């Protein structure tokens, strides 16, 4: 079974080397948790391996995504140009305010645009940033149909889709339904601890993978995402305090 590395070595080491082929992965995030940066890692890692990548953007234009990539990755222009885009933002802002009211009829249905754009090509890695656009503009059945179509696609092509969604945006039953239909759920959250904000990541679900029980802290710098490795020393109950056993576990 092929696995698709995220490009974040500490994370990949916790999930068996990457996401399993044929998986739809949900990144559920608090505002400010910066799941988008993880999606950049995922796409760039694919470029390094000469894999075909598609980025579906709903909240930023294609050019804005490319500029964001440059902040964290030093990749040549000719390499970044290999990323294919479905840009659902540019079509909404083109033409200025006068044409705003006519955009839906001119540019067609975003749901069908995504489905048709995906199925006409064979992609190894796909990012949907952000599912919130579809939950806002389409009914629940249509959104679930979109997820089911993505699931069919990745199983057929042995690829991986990464989907971003803000936490708390939907009612609990809707969110649970989405978590159920996807193959993996990774939660990225923000916690206030003393005088600082900490970002944490936990893997709630990942099929065909032994899921780690630990919650990991991560930092975001100009070099991207780094997970904090916490070393716990497991002591034998009969050993004197301060004398470690031979067993160490690195998280």
Distance CA 218, CA 191 (A): 12
Which pLDDT score is estimated for 251?
39
Q: 226 pairs with which residues across the strands?
A: 219
34 is written with which tokens?
């910066």
Which pLDDT score is estimated for 95?
52
If one counts the domains in the chain, the total is 1
Condensed to tens digits (0 to 9), the pLDDT of residues 8-37 reads 999 999 999 999 999 999 999 999 999 999
Query: How far is residue 67 from each of residues 58, 64, 127, 217, measured CA to CA in Å?
Result: 16, 5, 17, 27
Residue 62's CATH number: 3.40.50.300
Q: pLDDT below 70 — which residues of the chain?
A: 94-108, 229-251
pTM comes to: 0.85
Give the CA dihedral 58, 61, 67, 69, nearest 10 degrees.
30
Which pLDDT score is estimated for 108?
60
DSSP SS3 for 64: helix
The parent domain of residue 116 ranges over 3-250
Which pLDDT score is estimated for 91?
74
């Amino acid at each position: 079974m092929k696995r698709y590395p995220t490009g974040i070595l500490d994370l990949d080491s916790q999930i068996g080397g990457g996401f399993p082929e044929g998986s739809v992965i949900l990144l559920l995030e608090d505002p400010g948790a910066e799941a988008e940066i993880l999606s950049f890692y995922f796409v760039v890692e694919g470029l390094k391996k000469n894999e075909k990548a598609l980025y579906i953007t709903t909240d930023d234009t294609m050019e804005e995504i490319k500029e964001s990539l440059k902040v964290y990755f030093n990749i040549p222009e000719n390499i970044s140009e290999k990323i294919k885009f479905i840009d659902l933002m540019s079509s909404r802002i083109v033409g200025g305010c006068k044409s705003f009211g006519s955009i839906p009829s001119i540019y067609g249905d975003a749901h069908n645009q995504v489905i048709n754009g995906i199925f006409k090509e064979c992609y190894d890695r796909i990012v949907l940033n952000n599912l919130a656009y579809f939950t806002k503009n389409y009914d629940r059945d249509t959104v679930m149909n979109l997820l089911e179509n993505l699931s069919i696609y990745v199983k057929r092509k042995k690829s991986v889709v990464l989907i971003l969604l803000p936490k708390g945006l939907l009612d609990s039953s809707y969110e649970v339904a989405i978590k159920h239909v996807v193959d993996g759920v990774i939660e990225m959250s923000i916690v206030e601890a003393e005088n600082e904000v900490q970002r944490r990541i936990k893997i709630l679900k990942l099929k065909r993978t032994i899921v780690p029980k630990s919650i990991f802290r991560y930092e975001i710098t100009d070099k991207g995402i780094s997970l904090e490795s916490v070393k716990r020393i497991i002591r034998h109950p009969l050993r004197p305090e301060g004398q470690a056993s031979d067993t160490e576990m690195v998280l």
